[in-house]
Every structure is written in C-alpha cells, then in structure tokens.
Amino acid sequence: MDHSVEEIKFQEELLNIVLNDSSKINNLLNEKVGPNNFTPDLRPIFYALFHSNTKGVALTERSFSDFIEESYNNGNYKKWIGLNHPIVQAKASQRSKFSRIFLVNADANDLPVLIKKIKDNRLKRNCIKCVESFNINQKSNFKESLRKLSHGIDLALSENEYKEIISWCPIDEIGSEWYDKLINKIDNPEEKLHCSISEIDDAMVIGFKEGTLTLFVADVGGFKSTMMLNIALNIFKKTGESVLFCALEMPRDMVLQKIVARETGISFNKLENPIMLTEIDRVRIKDELKKWEDLSQKFIILDNEERVSVSTIRSQIEKYKALFSPKVVVVDYIANLKSDDHYKNLNESSQYGQMCKDLRQLGRKEGFSVVSAVQLGRDAIKRLRNQKEGKQTVGSDDLRGSHDYSADADNIFVMVPHPSEPDSKIQLFCVKTRYGSKTFNGKNSVLLDVYPDISKIVSNQDAKIVWDNSSTDKKLQSLSEHMPTEEDLGALNGVSKINNNIGLSGDEIFGDISSSDKDSTDEWSDDIDYL
Amino acid sequence: MKDINNNLKIYKYYYTSNCEFSKNNQCIREGGCLCSSVSTMYAYMKSVLPNGYEDYSFHDFDGFINEKRVLDTDRTREVRERIWEFCYGDTWNSIGNKSLLKKTELDKLSVIDKRFSRGESLVIYGNSLAINKNESNYSKISTGKTLIASIIMNQVIRHRLYRSNNASSYDWVLYPMLVSLLIDYNSNDGNSIDYIQTWNDTDWLVVDDIMPPDTNMSAKQHALVKNRLDNFFTHRAEKMLPSILVFQFDIDKFDIAQEYGYAISQIISSKNTYIIKV
C-alpha cells in the first residue's frame, strides 16, 4: 500500500523539524520511529540525519551529498530505496528531495503530533496489508490464513508498544515451510558465524547463531575477558559483521587498549607506558585506527558509569536498531549486570538465570548471538584439570553464582591455564554444546595459545612432524637433533640481554648446574660386597 | 607438575631471535610455529629430567658412567637391547649399526605412543647399594638406572613433536618425597594435595630412588604408607597411565606386596609392564 500524499507531507514536515534541530532525532528514536516509517525515497535523508547527529553536527547539503555517494558505493542506498538507480540519478533525486524538505515550513511544536500520525499511518498500512493477504489466501487455507492475520496484526501493534510475541506452531502446518527452507539451504548455504578459533567453531557446529548464549567459564584471571574480546574481534574483522561489546568489567579505554595491543602486536605494557613506544609503533597504531574508519561494519563498546541491567542493554540496542545491527553481543560478564525490577527480589542464582534467559530471548528477537562469562569455583577447576578422558564434568553448582547457567546456555566452555605453561597455553574443555560434540576430535580438551601481553588467543600453532617429508617435518627434525647448550644460550646475545628481554635473573636462567647426587662418583671397587 | 615457564622463555627467545617468521611477538609461519614446538620440548626436558640428564638418548647407554665402567659388556648389551625394545619395539635385529641412526631416525621406529595408549609401565631395578667391607654402612654405586629412566623420558618428551602424540604431562619424583606427601595427603595440607592430585594424573611419571624396605618404620606407619601407595598406583593403573619405577635394589629378593603394597606388586607382575634388570 503506497504512502498517501498527506502521509508524505507529514513525513516531510517531520524531517524538516529534525533538519533544523538535529537533536530531535533522539525524540524519533525514543518513540521507535525509524526509517520504515518513511517512504523509501525519504529514507536516505533519515539515515543521513542520524549519521550527522552521531557526529555532533547538523546535516548540510554538502555532507548529505557525500553521504549519498558513500551509501551508494557500499550498497546501502539500493537497500533503502529498493531500486537500482545509476549514481548520477540517485544523487540528483536525493538533492532535489533535500531541497524540498529544506523549504518545508514546519513548526517544531508539532513534533509529537507528527510522530503520532506517522506511527498510526504505519500501523494502518501494515494492518491493511495483513487483511489483503488474508483475503487472497483464505480461499485455499482459511485456518492458516486466519492465524497469519492474527499474528501479523499482533506484530504491527507491537511495533508501537513493547509486547510479548508468541507463535502457535503446529508441526503439521510448519513442516512444509521448514522443508522448503532446508532445500533452499542446499543452493543458498547459510553462512555460519564463526569465531576463527577452529576448536570452538567445530564444537559449536552451528556457529554463533542468533538467539544462542555461549558462556566461557574460568577462574579469576583465567582469560575470560580476553577470550570474549578475541571472539568479538575475530567475528568483526573476518566476517564483516557488527559487534556490540558491553564493557561492564573494564572501562572503555582499557578495552580499546587491549584491542590495539592485539591488532598491532604492541604489548599492553608499552601502551600503558607510552614513553616506550617507538616511532614505528606509533605509525602501526595509527594505521590500525585508520583501518577501522574504512570498515562498513561497526564495533561498538557500550561503556557505563553505573551498573546496567539487561533492560538497559535492550533499550540501547532498540534505540540504535535502524543503524546498527550487531550479530554478536558480548556481555563482560553476567555477574556484573544489575537485576531488573521484576526479578530483583529473587535469590542471586535465580537472578542470574533470569538474566541469561532475557539475553537469549533478546538475541532471538533482535537477531544476535550472546557471548558472556562466568566464574568457576576453585574445586571445580582442580577437578577438571585432574579428571581425564570423558570423565570431566561440570555441574550447576560448579559455576559460581547460578544453577541456571547450565540450563540456559547453549554452549559452555571452561578454560584452565595449562599447569606447566600457565602463561602461554590454555586448556579448553567443552562441557555443554546443544548442537555439537563435547569432544575435540575424540579428545577431552584442547590447547589454545595465549599471548597475555597482547591479549591474544589463537588455536595452538605448534608445528608437528607428520612424516610427510614437508618442509615443516624437515625443519623440525633438524632443530630437534641437538639440544642447545648453556654456551649456545649464553652466546646468543650475552646473558644480560637475555635477562633483560625475558625478565629472569642469571640464576634463574641457568640454575645450579653442579652435578647431581645421583649416580655418585664412588669408585668401582673390589672391596665392595653387594646386598 | 613442573612449571616450565622460565625454561620455555629462554628457549623461545633463543629460537625466535633467529627466526624469519617471528614478527611482533607472534609467528606468521604457515604450517605452524617451529620455535614454539622445539622450545616447549626442550623446556620440558630441562624442567622434568634431573640436572645433567636432559639430553640422553639410546646411544648414551654404553656401560660407562663418568668414564668409569659400571656394567660389563655382556650385561650392557642385554640392557641396551631391553631399552631398545621398550622404545623401538621388536626391531633390534633388523637394524644394523644402530649408532649411525640420528635421533629423528630413531623416532621413526618409536613405539612410545603405543606404550602410552596401552598404559604400559616400566620397572628398572638392580643393586645400587653395597656394604663397604671396611665399614658397616651402605655406599651407593652407580649402575645407570636413573640414566635409563632419563633416556626413556627423553624419548617420551621428544614425542611432543609428533602429531601422533597423546601425552602432555610428565613428572619425575623421588620416592621418599612421594611417600612423605602421601602421608600428609589426608591432613588437608594444600601443598601435598596439589602435588598428589597432579601426579595421580600425570601422563608419564617417573618414581626414582625406591630404596629397600625401611626396617626402622613402625608397623602402623608401614601399613599407612602401603595403603597410600596402593591408592595412588591403583588410581594410575585404572586410568592406564604408565609409571616408570626405579628400584635401587634387587626386587627379586623381597616380597614387594608385603613391603610396598599390592598395587606396586601388580605393576611389577603385570604383563603390561616392561622390566629392565641392571
């Protein structure tokens, strides 16, 4: 159903008010007025107004023209308009629209009235569409059509106000629709969202699918935040999807510092003491920051001065929904959330359970996967480290604070620093995966490499000999033939330089290499009788 | 379990300093990081094996210790054959001049992975103690048992380089320390609990310096020690974790079940256990 002339007039007046006072865009967002409330050829102006508002400036004709060109080049323009104009025509058409709106003589005091009219018009349009669809389809399947009509009207109403939506899905009726989607996947395979840590991806099978909750469990200082940040950044950089990182554990600048450390390879220590940065380091940092500006997907850090609840996160996501749709939302971490009013009187473990449920449901509604973390009890950590071969278990009472975590999470991974290499290796166990396998190629756990000084976690990269005569095999065989001697290690750069570079004292480097008391140098003597 | 971090840092620095693939503290080599693999292997050898025993291989068992002959040639040959069989299976006769084989060529013959998957333990024993005719005390004589255990463990740790390897933890403990910590285990001593629980599940564990029965121990203490040893080694046997036990005396002359408990006696008599008498 097309927008009527009167509707278009209201929309233009509304846009005129916002053009003259860019702060009014927040009124629109708070009232859930988004681009879909406007006719397609006015949507670019809406998006441009929002974009300039985020930059803190008013929208001018020049900035609008630049915005249209950029949107055309990145494909957004075509998505908004629904037509494939050549760029010259697109720019001319939008310039004309902009001028027209600029000249509209709207009164800012009419803003609430205009918002209401636009929302009501959209509601009416959507409901009429549902009824038209019913009229067409009810002849072939009356019951199904009636069900869809009711559902469609509920959905239309919920866009005006928050309302729980439930669907009634008899399997005999939805089976054929599911089958069509299944067959469609053969020709159009679904792109799974992978985090590029193959051990995690393989265990999860379906990827970081919308509506799922994945938890990482570890002791204090067990790399929980580092793991979540690595997953978020891998998805952001390698899949081109947007990510929201709710930094409840660390301030924004610390998160940013970790990101820069990981992406540039410059240690956290150097970034914390910038006097140590070389000119090359500074160039590397600037180059990395520049790369982020050129990306179409966004990595947003939600920074908070006070504790936030799931509702706060929800409202922020809904507020910016039109312009930012994360595929993954990281909450660092659940125990840092504040309870919402409707369950704050429950006991602590039940509160966490409700948070998990709400986050999952939010993910289902808004189309993202949730990643978060939980602390593990010490006894459980020791037990996990010592149990072997499929006998490792985590019960609900092992996750500190909630019995509900195990039930509500789709995937639970436990991380334990490797006992012999705690600074460079993590043992990863999968204790729950709703759709995949809890083992890693038959093994109970896998090792991941961790670089704490640059906040990086990757799959274990140690080369192995596989007897295929490859260069890796040959090189490893060559290196393993002779163990470096003390002289070799000392001669590399002098002991003091090794000392400075790796932070160990001379005694720590070489230890006491006096002969052991084993196999003593007693003389072989004929005077000795054996027992 | 031994913390290899300090040694790992040293070896990693040694290898990465000369590596073209080491950039910004990371490895950019396609096909995996060579430096990390060999550094970790050598760090384990340096951390786990006794001082001075880190780099011994089959070739180093020749009947001499510190340039003094401790075994005659026939006995040396017999022991070498046993070491070979444990490490390289039934290939003693099919390989000619074994001294020409490099370490990696020996690795190709290795059956250590199979030994580990079957939980096959190793017992090394032989007289190390003698009464000096002129005095009435014991003197400890080297016969190479610790050397043999080191050679085996060196081979075991080398297997970290191979894709087929399934073992990841290694430790070396002296028997008196093991007993002392086992006695303290139930007294809620955090330290002993940590060590015992770790050793319980260490993939390859060497227990060295198992001395003849202590005749000064009270019956009550003796029963306690036997009980704890039984629990410890039964746990390992159930999980099919191989143990390398080094006895400093001739075990044929003692009732091991009576003196050390049923579990150790079972390890010795098991058909899954390999025996090397020195």
Instruction: Give the pLDDT confidence score for residue A506 in this predicted structure.
Output: 39
E strand or H helix at A491, and its extent?
Answer: helix A486-491
Q: Can you tell me the distance from the alpha carbon of A192 to that of A204, in angstroms, rounded to the nearest whole number?
A: 11
Q: In the predicted model, what is the mean pLDDT of residues A41-62?
A: 87
- Residues 6 or more apart from A366 whose CB is under 8 A from it? A210, A317, A318, A321, A325
User: How far is it, in rounded angstroms, from Cα A57 to Cα A22?
Assistant: 8
* Phi and psi, residue B141, nearest 5°: -115, 135
Average pLDDT for B5-20: 90
State the SS3 of A411-439: EEEEEEECCCCCCCEEEEEEEEECCCCCC
Using one digit for the tens of pLDDT, what is the confidence trace for A176-211? 888 888 888 888 777 789 999 999 998 988 899 999
Query: What average pLDDT does this structure show over A487-495?
Result: 68
Element (H, E) at A381: helix A378-386
Which pLDDT score, from 0 to 100, does residue A163 have?
41
Question: What confidence category does residue A147 fall into, taking pLDDT thresholds of 50, 70 and 90?
Answer: confident
The pLDDT, as a whole number, for residue B140 is: 62
ipTM value, please give it: 0.87
pLDDT for position A164:
41
Interchain contact B14–A (C-beta under 8 A): yes
Output the pLDDT for position B135: 46
pLDDT at A490 over 90: no
Q: Is the pLDDT of residue A160 over 50?
A: yes
Q: Which residues of A42-69 are buried (b: 16+ CB within 10 A; e: fewer)?
A: bbbbbbbbbbbbeeeeebeeeebeebbe
Residue B5's pLDDT is 86
Smallest CA–CA distance, residue A496 to chain B, in Å, is: 12
pLDDT single digits (tens) A389-421: 334 555 555 666 555 677 788 999 999 888 778
- Mean of the pLDDT values across residues A288-317? 87
pLDDT at A82: 84
Q: Does B93 touch chain A (CB under 8 A)?
A: no
> Any chain B CB within 8 A of the CB of A466?
yes
Q: Which residue has the tokens 């620093």?
A: A417
Q: Residue type for A331, please?
A: V
The burial of A125, by beta-carbon neighbours within 10 Å (0-12 exposed, 13-18 middle, 19 or more buried), is given as middle
Residue A517 has pLDDT above 50, yes or no: no
pLDDT, average across residues B253-267: 95
Is B1's Cβ below 8 Å from some Cβ in A? yes
* B256 contacts: CB under 8 Å, gap ≥ 6: B264, B265, B268
pLDDT at A57: 83
Residues of B (242-271) whose Cβ lies below 8 Å from A: 249-250, 253
pLDDT higher than 80, residue B258: yes
Cα separation, A139 vs B105, in Å, equals 80
| More confident of the two residues B273 and B18 | B273
* DSSP, res B49: S
Out of A116-120, A173-177, A497-501, give the one with best mean pLDDT: A116-120
Q: What local confidence, expressed as pLDDT, does residue A64 receive?
A: 93
Is a pLDDT exceeding 50 seen at residue A36? yes
Mean pLDDT of B238-263: 94
Q: Which of A479, A497, A508 to mutate to test the interface with B (most CBs of B within 10 A)?
A: A479
Interface test with A, best of B25, B44, B69, B135 (most A CBs within 10 A): B25
Asked whether the beta carbons of residue B32 and residue A462 sit closer than 8 angstroms, the reply is: yes
pLDDT at A527: 32
Confidence at A518, pLDDT banded by 50, 70, 90: very low
Closest listed residue to residue A241, CA positions, set A286, A191, A205: A191
pLDDT digits (tens, 9 = 90+) for B53-105: 999 988 899 888 888 888 888 989 999 999 999 999 988 888 888 888 888 88
Q: Are the C-beta atoms of residues B105 and B155 closer than 8 Å to each other?
A: no
A205-228 confidence digits (pLDDT tens): 889 999 999 999 988 888 999 999
pLDDT at A385: 59
Task: Say how many Å lie between the first and final Cα of chain B, rounded.
Answer: 29
Q: Is residue A523 over pLDDT 60?
A: no
**Cα–Cα distance for residue pair B125/B276, rounded to 1 Å:** 7
Q: Which residues of A touch B76 (CB under 8 A)?
A: none
Q: What is the pLDDT of residue B222?
A: 93
